[in-house]
């Protein structure tokens, strides 16, 4: 598992480095980076979510899947108020800090780790927390970047009609009704969906190229947020799952998701809504590096707990 995680981080930083070069050589401008971010959020991400549901139906799997959906909702309902207490609104960048502490990069890191432990079945169950992540990120998360961090019914209704959530709903309908896309159309969508990880890393690199790297690692606040994301969040998840009767496989998946580094969506949303994308990139980079040490321990403890 440690080797898989190391390979993922090396891959990520190579692509991120290419993004830095693209900006430094003026191949991509700040405006171009924002346009790439919109492409990722509004086209590529929705397609990859829809594709995760294009597989054979299994009645037992669907029961566990629905249970995973419910537990993922419970996780966010607990984490959001906890993070609000740990990161008060009086902090200048509270919106970026709260988002980075709550939402995980569970796709890029979670999928290869879960696949190595549980195979394709584990990845299928992983789509449940990824789906709930997208729903909360596009409602509560967007409200953090657009307003004062409060999620009202009006903002939920407004934000829920976005391509990613629509793709999740359509994907689930296709799954339970056992509908499959034609092979040619499915293949075309897969090509676009495969852009998800490299495009996200390029955008992160382009954004990071605009920052003072040495300053990132001198900022004490970054390590405080990193501790919340990589230690407090997974520990709370372990405590919650300890009291819930659940298959060990499903417990391990949820704990690993909570222990992944901050989501790249924080950078995309910051760019889209005119917030401090450089700070979002800083949190992303530091949590990713530190997760090289913490995530193997989280996996070890999760398997022991299960």
pLDDT, greater one: 280 or 245: 280
The pLDDT score that the predictor gives to residue 224 is 95
Whether residue 75 contacts residue 256, with contact meaning beta carbons closer than 8 Å, is answered with: no
The pLDDT score that the predictor gives to residue 153 is 62
Name the band, by pLDDT with cuts 50, 70 and 90, for residue 150. low
Count of the separate structural domains present in the chain: 1
Provide the token pair at 33: 């980076």
> Is the pLDDT assigned to residue 34 strictly greater than 80?
yes
Helix (H, G, I), strand (E, B) or coil at 69: helix
pLDDT, greater one: 108 or 18: 18
pLDDT tens column, 105-142:
887 777 767 877 777 778 788 888 988 998 899 888 98
Provide the token pair at 167: 């793709």
The position carrying tokens 């979670």 is 110
Helices 94-102 and 220-227 meet at what angle, rounded to 10? 40
Q: Which residues of 13-27 are buried (b: 16+ CB within 10 A; e: fewer)?
A: bebbeebbebbeeee
Least Cα distance to 288 among 5, 93, 2 occurs for 5
Q: What residues contact 257, with CB distance under 8 A and at least 6 apart?
A: 72, 104, 106, 110, 126, 129
The position carrying tokens 């992540």 is 133
> Is the pLDDT assigned to residue 283 strictly greater than 80?
yes
Name the band, by pLDDT with cuts 50, 70 and 90, for residue 178. confident
> Is the pLDDT assigned to residue 1 strictly greater than 70?
no
Helix (H, G, I), strand (E, B) or coil at 217: helix
> Is the pLDDT assigned to residue 159 strictly greater than 90?
no
Q: What is the mean pLDDT of residues 206-224?
A: 81
Residue 91 Cα to chain centre, angstroms: 23
Q: What is the mean pLDDT of residues 20-47?
A: 89
Q: What residues contact 189, with CB distance under 8 A and at least 6 apart?
A: 47, 50, 51, 181
Q: What is the mean pLDDT of residues 73-102?
A: 92
Range of the domain at 60: 2-305
How much is the pTM?
A: 0.79
Neighbours of 187 (CB within 10 A): 10
CATH of the domain at 188: 1.20.1530.20
């Amino acid at each position: 598992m440690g080797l898989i995680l190391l390979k993922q981080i090396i891959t990520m930083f190579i692509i991120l480095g290419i993004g830095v070069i693209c900006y430094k050589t003026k191949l991509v401008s700040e405006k171009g980076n924002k346009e790439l971010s919109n492409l990722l959020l509004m086209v590529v991400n929705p397609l990859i979510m829809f594709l995760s549901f294009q597989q054979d139906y299994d009645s037992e799997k669907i029961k566990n899947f629905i249970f995973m959906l419910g537990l993922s909702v419970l996780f966010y309902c607990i984490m959001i108020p906890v993070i609000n207490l740990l990161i008060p609104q009086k902090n200048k960048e509270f919106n970026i800090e709260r988002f980075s502490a709550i939402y995980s990069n569970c796709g890029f890191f979670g999928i290869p780790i879960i696949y190595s432990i549980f195979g394709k079945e584990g990845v299928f169950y992983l789509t449940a927390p990824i789906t709930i992540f997208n729903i909360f990120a596009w409602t509560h998360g967007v409200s953090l970047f657009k307003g004062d961090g409060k999620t009202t019914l009006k903002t939920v209704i407004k934000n829920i009609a976005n391509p990613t959530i629509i793709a999740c709903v359509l994907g689930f309908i296709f799954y339970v009704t056992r509908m499959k896309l034609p092979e040619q159309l499915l293949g075309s969508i897969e090509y676009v969906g495969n852009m998800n990880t490299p495009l996200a890393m390029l955008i992160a690199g382009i954004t990071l190229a605009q920052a003072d790297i040495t300053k990132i690692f001198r900022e004490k606040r970054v390590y405080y947020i990193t501790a919340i994301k990589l230690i407090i969040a997974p520990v709370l998840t372990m405590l919650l799952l300890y009291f819930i009767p659940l298959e060990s496989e499903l417990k391990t998946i949820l704990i690993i998701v909570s222990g992944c580094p901050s989501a790249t969506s924080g950078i995309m949303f910051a760019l889209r809504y005119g917030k401090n994308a450089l700070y979002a990139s800083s949190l992303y980079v530091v949590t990713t590096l530190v997760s090289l040490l913490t995530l193997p321990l989280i996996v070890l403890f999760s398997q022991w707990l299960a």
